[in-house]
C-alpha cells in the first residue's frame, strides 16, 4: 500500500462520486493540476458556470483571485513526464496567493486563496515548503468559524509526513474562535492522519524491504521512498500517534454528532470559487465518518481477520465473504463507481486475474453510484465481469469501512485475513499471484 502523494510516479489516483478527485497518487503533472481543481467533492460544473454568468454576481476580490489562479495553472508545464521543480511555477505563485490572502483577510476570497495554497505546498522546493505550509495553516485561524475552513482541513490527513498539518489541526481545534463544525473536522482529520501515518510508516519500510529483496519497482522508486521515510517521525512516535488517533476517532464516533459536510459547488468554470450547497450533504455525519475511520484503523489492517460481509448482488444472488473463504479463495473487495477513471483503469488487471485464476479468486465490486441504474449499466457494459453489489452514495458499506476515495481495494487471503489494501498495478497482481500459488497456510 502506498498512500503517498508523489508527483514523479504514475500510480492510480483516488476520486469521489460527488465529482471530485481527492489528492491524487502521482498522476502525470497535467492530470494532477486538473484533479486538484476538483479536490473534495466538487459537484459537476453547471451550465451557468460554463457560460461565465458567475461573473455577474462575483465580488471584485473574487474577480481578482480567478485570473491569478488561472495564470498559475496555465504556467504549469503540460504533458507527461516526471515532475521537474526547476520548471514548476509554484515558488512564484504561492507567495502571490499568500499576499492576496493578506490583502483580503477575513473574506471568503482570502480563505479561498488559502484553499489553493494548502494542497500545493508539496510543489515547493524543500527549503521553503515547510515554512510556507506552516504559514498557510497559521492564517487559517482568521477563518476559524467559516464553514469553508472545514473543506480545507478535511483535505488534510492522508498519512503523509506532515508536521505542519498536524500542528495546524491541533491549533485550530483549540482556538477559541473555532466553530463546532471546523473543530469537528479538525479532530476527524487529525485522528485519520495519525492512524494512517503509522500505516504509511509500516508500509514504507515493508516496500523498501521488498525492493531490496528484488521486487519489481518503478524507476527512482527506491530513492523516493528512502527520502520520504526520512520525514516520518520515529517508530515509537508513530505508534503513540496511532493510539491517539484511534482515541480521537472513537470520541467523535461516540459523540453521535449529526454535523455533515455539504456538497461543494463550483462557482466559476475552474472551481477556483466555491460555495457550500446547504440543501445537499456530501458525506455521512461526522460521527459516522469517525466510526468508519476507527473501524478501518482497528479492524482492516493487514493480519486482522476480515470482518463479516454479506451482500445482495444486483442480479439478485447472495454473496458472502464467509463462502469465499470456505471455498479457499483469495478475495478482492473493490470499492468503485461508474465513470471513475482511476477505478476503470484497474478493470483490465482485474479481468486478467479473474481469467488467469478462475475459481481460486473472488472479486466483489461495491459500487457507490448515487443511482442503481448507473451500477447496472456499468455491469451490463461488459467492463465489470465479476460480482457486483450497489451501496449507493454515502452507503452503509463505504461508510462503515471508512473509504477515503476511489478505487479502494482490500486483498483477503484464503484464511479470511486481511493481506493488504490500497494496492494497484503490479503490486496488486503480484500479491494475488503469490497468495494463490503459495497460500498463507502453506508458508
- The answer to whether 365 and 386 are in contact (CB under 8 A) is yes
Count Cβ atoms within 10 A of the Cβ of residue 52 and give its class: 0-12 exposed, 13-18 middle, 19 or more buried.
exposed
The count of domains in the chain is 2
Let me know if residue 21 belongs to a domain.
no
pLDDT of 43 = 44
Q: Report strand pairing: 310-312 vs 318-320.
A: antiparallel
Is residue 163 located within the same domain as residue 40? yes
Question: DSSP assignment of 34-100, as one string?
Answer: HHHTTTTTBPPPPHHHHTTGGGGT--HHHHHHHHHHHHHHHHSPPSSS---TTT-THHHHHHHHHHH
Let me know if residue 20 belongs to a domain.
no
Is residue 78 located within the same domain as residue 207? yes
pLDDT of 251 = 98
Distance, CA of 270 to chain centre: 20
Is residue 230 located within the same domain as residue 328? no
Helix axes 108-117, 60-75, angle to 10 degrees: 10
pLDDT of 60 = 85
pLDDT of 434 = 94
Residue 417 DSSP label: B
Is residue 281 located within the same domain as residue 338? no
Q: CA 94, CA 441: separation in Å to the nearest integer?
A: 53
Let me know if residue 4 belongs to a domain.
no
Q: What is the CA radius of gyration of the chain?
A: 22
pLDDT of 275 = 87
Going by C-alpha positions, the residue among 213, 201, 408 that lies closest to residue 293 is: 408
Is residue 191 located within the same domain as residue 70? yes
Q: Count CB neighbours of 34 within 10 A.
A: 14
Let me know if residue 416 belongs to a domain.
yes
pLDDT of 140 = 97
Domain holding 313: CATH number?
A: 3.40.30.10
pLDDT of 20 = 34
Let me know if residue 297 belongs to a domain.
no
Is residue 101 located within the same domain as residue 223? yes
Q: CA 270, CA 157: separation in Å to the nearest integer?
A: 25
pLDDT of 39 = 34
Domain end, chosen from 226, 255, 290, is at 290
3-state secondary structure of 207: helix
Is residue 56 located within the same domain as residue 129? yes
Let me know if residue 13 belongs to a domain.
no
Domain end, chosen from 260, 290, 320, is at 290
Is residue 260 located within the same domain as residue 282? yes
Q: Which residues of the chain have pLDDT under 70?
A: 1-54, 79-83, 280, 282, 439-443
Let me know if residue 9 belongs to a domain.
no
Distance, CA of 210 to chain centre: 25
pLDDT of 439 = 65
Is residue 277 located within the same domain as residue 390? no
Domain end, chosen from 231, 261, 290, is at 290
Let me know if residue 204 belongs to a domain.
yes
Owning domain of residue 55: 29-290
Is residue 233 located within the same domain as residue 348? no
Is residue 192 located within the same domain as residue 238? yes
Is residue 309 located within the same domain as residue 261? no
Amino acid at each position: 500500500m502506498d498512500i503517498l502523494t508523489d508527483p514523479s510516479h504514475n500510480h492510480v489516483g483516488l476520486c469521489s462520486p460527488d465529482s471530485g478527485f481527492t489528492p491524487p497518487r502521482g498522476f502525470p503533472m497535467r492530470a494532477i493540476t486538473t484533479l486538484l481543481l476538483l479536490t473534495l467533492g466538487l459537484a459537476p460544473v453547471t451550465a451557468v458556470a460554463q457560460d461565465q454568468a458567475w461573473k455577474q454576481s462575483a465580488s471584485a476580490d473574487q474577480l481578482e483571485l480567478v485570473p491569478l489562479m488561472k495564470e498559475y495553472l496555465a504556467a504549469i508545464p503540460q504533458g507527461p513526464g516526471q515532475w521537474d521543480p526547476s520548471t514548476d511555477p509554484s515558488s512564484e505563485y504561492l507567495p502571490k496567493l499568500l499576499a492576496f490572502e493578506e490583502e483580503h483577510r477575513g473574506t471568503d476570497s482570502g480563505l479561498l486563496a488559502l484553499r489553493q495554497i494548502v494542497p500545493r505546498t508539496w510543489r515547493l522546493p524543500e527549503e521553503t515548503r515547510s515554512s510556507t505550509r506552516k504559514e498557510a495553516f497559521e492564517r487559517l485561524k482568521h477563518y476559524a468559524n467559516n464553514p469553508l475552513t472545514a473543506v480545507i482541513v478535511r483535505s488534510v490527513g492522508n498519512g503523509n509526513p506532515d508536521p505542519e498539518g498536524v500542528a495546524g489541526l491541533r491549533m485550530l481545534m483549540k482556538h477559541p474562535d473555532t466553530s463546532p463544525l471546523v473543530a469537528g473536522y479538525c479532530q476527524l482529520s487529525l485522528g485519520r492522519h495519525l492512524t494512517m501515518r503509522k500505516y504509511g510508516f509500516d508500509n514504507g519500510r515493508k516496500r523498501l524491504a521488498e525492493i531490496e529483496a528484488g521486487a519489481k519497482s518503478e524507476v527512482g522508486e527506491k530513492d523516493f521512498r528512502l527520502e520520504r521515510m526520512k520525514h516520518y517521525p520515529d517508530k515509537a512516535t508513530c505508534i503513540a500517534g496511532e493510539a491517539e488517533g484511534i482515541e480521537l476517532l472513537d470520541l467523535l464516533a461516540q459523540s453521535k454528532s449529526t454535523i455533515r459536510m455539504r456538497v461543494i459547488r463550483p462557482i466559476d468554470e475552474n472551481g477556483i470559487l466555491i460555495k457550500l450547497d446547504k440543501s445537499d450533504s456530501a458525506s455521512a455525519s461526522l460521527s459516522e465518518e469517525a466510526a468508519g475511520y476507527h473501524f478501518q484503523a482497528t479492524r482492516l489492517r493487514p493480519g486482522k481477520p476480515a470482518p463479516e460481509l454479506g451482500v445482495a448482488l444486483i442480479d439478485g444472488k447472495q454473496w458472502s465473504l464467509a463462502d469465499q473463504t470456505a471455498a479457499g479463495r483469495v478475495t478482492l473487495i473493490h470499492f468503485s463507481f461508474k465513470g471513475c477513471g482511476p477505478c476503470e483503469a484497474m478493470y483490465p488487471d482485474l479481468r486478467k486475474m479473474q481469467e488467469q485464476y478462475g475459481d481460486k479468486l473472488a472479486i466483489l465490486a461495491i459500487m457507490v453510484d448515487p443511482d442503481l441504474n448507473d451500477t447496472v449499466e456499468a455491469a451490463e457494459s461488459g467492463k465489470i465481469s465479476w460480482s457486483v453489489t450497489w451501496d449507493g452514495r454515502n452507503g452503509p458499506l463505504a461508510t462503515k469501512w471508512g473509504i477515503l476515495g476511489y478505487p479502494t481495494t482490500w486483498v483477503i487471503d484464503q484464511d479470511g485475513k486481511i493481506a493488504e489494501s490500497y494496492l494497484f498495478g503490479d503490486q496488486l497482481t503480484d500479491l494475488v499471484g503469490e497468495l494463490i500459488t503459495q497460500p498463507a497456510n502453506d508458508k
